[in-house]
């Protein structure tokens, strides 16, 4: 289809699978990854239409530099997937055991990291562009049932409000932003429970579902901004 697609976290997991599926569809992918991986190297060898740029999303200068080639090209983005994220198993504790200083890393990547990418992608947006931020049901305040995981949940709630503010800023410009919960996945972030759960999704299946949303945006009502992999609206 020759769409231009930006994917963060493309080195592994969901980001890698999203990038791969778009390449298979004939799209060009501008990928951001913290470090290269053998699967990503092999993918780049197979698809010259994949351009990989290494950066730490927690570092503004690195993100700006990684986005420079896109800015210099003058091309416009059809899709931006903010997939990269961070989770600490040590976050699964009550407040009295929580390492609050470490939560700054979660906030810096999960919230500010996505915002950095969107900031430097702004010149490449056009009417019809979609920014799809991989959030989580953990970022819902109304439906919160957790009694731990403060850092992760707070970082995803921060990503949600950042996305909403940017959507207000871009109102009337034909750019749409979605906050998307991809489900419980069989990845390092999903943990051992996900690996053995019959209900958890593989990264490939999760990627298939996220593309169903991104490539069929007309099926998602305009008033829906926060949704899950079943295309169901989530509460802020």
Per-residue pLDDT of 148-193, as tens digits, reads: 999 999 999 999 999 999 999 999 999 999 999 998 765 666 555 5
Give the pLDDT of residue 175.
98
Sign of CA dihedral 45, 47, 51, 56: negative
What pLDDT is attached to residue 21? 98
**pLDDT for 197:** 56
pLDDT score, position 1: 78
Q: What is the pLDDT of residue 160?
A: 98
Q: Please name which of 91, 208, 201 lies closest in space to residue 156, comparing C-alpha atoms.
A: 91
Positions in the chain short of pLDDT 50: 194
Query: What pLDDT, on a 0 to 100 scale, did the predictor assign at position 184?
Result: 75
CB 161 within 8 A of CB 112: no
**Non-local CB neighbours of 29 within 8 Å, separated by 6+ positions:** 5, 6, 7, 10, 19, 22, 23, 47, 49, 50, 51
Which domains, from first to last, does the chain contain? 4-228 (3.40.50.720)
Q: What is the pLDDT of residue 229?
A: 97
Length of the chain as a residue count:
236
Closest CA to 230 of 198, 184, 193, 194: 184
For the chain, give me the number of helices (H) and strands (E)?
Answer: 9, 7
């Amino acid at each position: 289809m020759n769409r231009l697609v930006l994917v963060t976290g493309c080195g592994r997991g969901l980001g890698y699978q999203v990038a791969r599926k778009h390449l298979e569809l004939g799209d060009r992918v501008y990928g951001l990854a913290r470090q290269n991986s053998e699967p990503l190297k092999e993918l780049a060898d197979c698809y010259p239409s994949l351009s990989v740029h290494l950066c730490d999303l927690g570092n503004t200068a690195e993100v700006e530099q990684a986005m420079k080639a896109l800015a210099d090209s003058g091309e416009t983005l059809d899709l931006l997937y903010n997939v990269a994220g961070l989770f600490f198993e040590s976050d699964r504790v009550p407040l009295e055991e929580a390492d609050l200083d470490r939560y700054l890393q979660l906030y810096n990547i999960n919230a500010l990291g996505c915002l950095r990418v969107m900031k430097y992608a702004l010149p490449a947006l056009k009417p019809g562009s979609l920014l799809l931020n991989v959030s989580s049901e953990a970022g819902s305040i109304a439906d919160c049932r957790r009694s731990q995981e403060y850092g992760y949940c707070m970082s995803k709630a921060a990503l949600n409000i950042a996305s909403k503010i940017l959507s207000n800023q871009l109102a009337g410009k034909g750019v749409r932003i979605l906050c998307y919960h991809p489900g419980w996945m069989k990845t390092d972030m999903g943990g051992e429970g996900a690996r053995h759960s019959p209900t958890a999704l593989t990264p490939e299946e999760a990627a298939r579902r996220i593309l169903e949303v991104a490539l069929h945006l007309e099926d998602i009502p305009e008033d829906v901004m926060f949704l899950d992999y079943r295309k169901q609206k989530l509460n802020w």
